[in-house]
């Protein structure tokens, strides 16, 4: 009902029933809430039933219409009149409504990826483009070496594992952002075993494949070819064993070693048996499913699909299509016929014994994955190292550390180099 300073103003009579409207809408203080709403319903019903002219007159009334309470509900305890008017809408409601009205119907229309670029793409093909390919002659044939970085900076020599080459073994890790920033201070020489590079032709049948000691000796030709006086070794699996042999025979040529899943003993009967069958199948039948399964176990341990299905499928495809079976059989045969490294940790105070002659002289970080099948081998290797300049590290939730936990490995390698004085601060 219209109200002016606490008083009531009557509406014009409609169909001669103006008093009925006034009485029905001024009884809330004596009636229940239900009767109030019923009275309002009857009042609006009578207004709607009126003639069109009268209805328009009611709607066009300029006087404000508010809901009024009766009796003591209009005043507080002090007698002041309460403000019973509804709050007005915000002034920007119309502007917001206009803006909302101009939005597209489909909310995905304004979400469009026009230009997405990675600062450090973790792509395997990028290492092939960034490396300079060289072939270094040795007494046992040519060795493929890929150079990544400025040759005037300190050198890191890498060596890969069975079934892999420098690209498939180190491309993902060395393109990791932390490593890309770290390697601005180094030059990496990726050494690939004979016949293991991408697209390598089959080695001749009369070719005598180098032994593990011969593969280690080939590194002397690599260092001499590039004029390197001292290097940092970074090896995985069979490559770690080769670098350990080279460091033991040439301690003045190696400043530090980072070895992953390194085996320091000769092969056991089970390993020898499995790998002998694998080498035979590779020569006669090519890459069989049994050989692939063994290589997957060698790199990833048990049930790798549960951790990273895509990574496992990528390596399976590499073993099926990117490996020369005959050449791999020769490398496997050389690996299972390896001899012991003849390392021993000399107890302190042993008379007539020199620690430098029985174990590795340079600092060594010995790394493995908690799910790797080579954990026990790394523990044995750690027991043969000097505890004053070596450390053993097991990274959780992985077997192939370079692929499954690159961030943890990169941080460990950075801290290792920083401790040896090669890195002054954390790269950005």
> Which one, of 267, 216, 237, 215, lies nearest residue 378 by Cα?
237
Tell me whether residue 116 is in a domain: no
Tell me whether residue 222 is in a domain: yes
Tell me whether residue 231 is in a domain: yes
Tell me whether residue 7 is in a domain: no
Pairing type for strands 155-159 and 141-149 reads: unpaired
Q: Is 406 helix (H, G, I), strand (E, B) or coil?
A: helix
CA dist., res. 328 & res. 336, Å (int): 12
Tell me whether residue 101 is in a domain: no
Q: Are 71 and 64 in contact (CB under 8 A)?
A: no
Distances (CA, A) of 119 to 116, 133, 173, 187, 278: 10, 24, 15, 20, 42
Tell me whether residue 398 is in a domain: yes
Q: Domain of 137: which CATH number?
A: 3.40.50.1820
Q: Is 90 left (phi over 0), alpha (psi -120 to 50) or beta?
A: beta
> Which one, of 334, 155, 140, 350, lies nearest residue 241 by Cα?
334
Find all residues with CB under 8 Å of 46, minimum gap 6, and list them.
Answer: 14, 15, 17, 20, 21
pLDDT at 319: 94
Distances (CA, A) of 49 to 42, 128, 175: 10, 87, 82
**Residue 394: count of CB within 10 angstroms of its CB:** 16
Find all residues with CB under 8 Å of 140, minimum gap 6, and list them.
Answer: 194, 210, 214, 215, 217, 218
pLDDT at 68: 47
Q: Which residue has the tokens 């790998």?
A: 275
Burial letters for 348-378: b for 16+ Cβ neighbours within 10 Å, e otherwise?
A: eeeeeeebeebbbebbbbbbbbebbbbbebb
Q: Name 235's bridge partners.
A: 159, 259
pLDDT at 31: 47
CA dist., res. 392 & res. 380, Å (int): 11
Q: Is 141 left (phi over 0), alpha (psi -120 to 50) or beta?
A: left
Q: Name 313's bridge partners.
A: none
Largest Cα–Cα distance of the chain, in whole Å? 130
Tell me whether residue 363 is in a domain: yes
Q: Which domain holds residue 146?
A: 124-266+340-420
Number of domains in the chain: 1
Per-residue pLDDT of the chain (428 residues), as tens digits, is 445 444 545 555 545 555 554 454 444 444 455 565 666 666 666 555 544 454 444 444 444 544 444 444 555 555 555 555 555 545 555 666 565 555 555 555 555 555 544 443 344 545 667 788 999 999 988 999 999 989 999 999 999 999 999 999 998 899 888 888 888 889 999 999 999 998 899 999 889 999 999 999 999 999 999 999 999 999 999 999 999 999 999 999 999 999 999 999 999 898 899 899 999 999 999 999 999 999 999 999 988 888 788 899 999 999 998 999 999 999 999 999 999 998 988 765 566 555 445 889 999 999 999 999 999 999 999 999 999 999 999 999 999 999 999 999 999 999 999 988 887 555 55
Tell me whether residue 305 is in a domain: no
């Amino acid at each position: 009902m219209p109200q002016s300073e606490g008083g009531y103003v009557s509406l014009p009579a409609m169909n001669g029933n103006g008093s009925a409207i006034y009485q029905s809408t001024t009884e809330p203080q004596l009636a229940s809430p239900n009767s109030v709403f019923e009275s309002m319903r009857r009042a609006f019903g009578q207004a709607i039933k009126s003639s069109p002219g009268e209805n328009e007159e009611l709607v066009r009334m300029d006087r404000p219409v508010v809901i009024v309470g009766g009796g003591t509900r209009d005043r507080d305890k002090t007698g002041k009149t309460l403000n019973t008017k509804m709050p007005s809408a915000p002034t920007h409601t119309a502007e917001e409504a206009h803006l909302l009205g101009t939005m597209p119907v489909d909310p995905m229309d304004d979400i469009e990826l026009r230009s997405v670029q990675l600062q450090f793409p973790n792509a395997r093909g990028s290492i092939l483009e960034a490396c300079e390919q060289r072939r270094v002659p040795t007494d046992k044939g040519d060795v493929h070496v890929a150079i990544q970085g400025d040759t005037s900076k300190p050198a890191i020599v890498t060596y890969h594992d069975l079934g892999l080459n420098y690209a498939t073994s180190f491309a993902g890790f060395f393109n990791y952002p932390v490593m890309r920033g770290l390697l601005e201070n180094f030059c990496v020489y990726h050494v690939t075993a004979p016949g293991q590079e991408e697209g390598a032709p089959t080695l001749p049948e009369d070719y005598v494949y180098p032994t593990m000691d011969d593969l280690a000796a080939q590194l002397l030709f690599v260092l001499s070819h590039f004029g390197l006086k001292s290097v940092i070794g970074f090896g995985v699996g069979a490559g770690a064993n080769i670098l350990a042999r080279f460091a033991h025979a040439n301690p003045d040529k190696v400043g530090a070693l980072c070895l992953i899943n390194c085996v320091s003993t000769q092969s056991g009967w089970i390993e020898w048996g499995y790998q002998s069958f694998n080498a035979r199948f590779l020569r006669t039948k090519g890459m069989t499913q049994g050989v692939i399964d063994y290589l997957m176990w060698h790199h990833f341990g048990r049930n790798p699909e549960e951790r990273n299905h895509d990574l496992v499928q990528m390596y399976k495809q590499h073993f099926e299509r990117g490996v020369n079976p005959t050449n791999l059989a020769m490398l496997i045969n050389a690996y299972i016929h390896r001899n012991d490294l003849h390392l021993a940790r000399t107890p302190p105070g042993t008379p007539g014994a020199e620690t430098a002659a029985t174990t590795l002289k340079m600092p060594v970080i010995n790394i493995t994955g908690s799910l790797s099948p080579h954990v026990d081998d790394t523990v044995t290797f750690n027991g043969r190292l000097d505890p004053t300049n070596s450390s053993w590290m097991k990274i959780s939730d992985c077997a192939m550390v370079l692929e499954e936990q690159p961030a943890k490995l990169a941080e460990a390698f950075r801290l290792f180099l920083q401790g040896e004085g090669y890195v002054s601060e954390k790269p950005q």
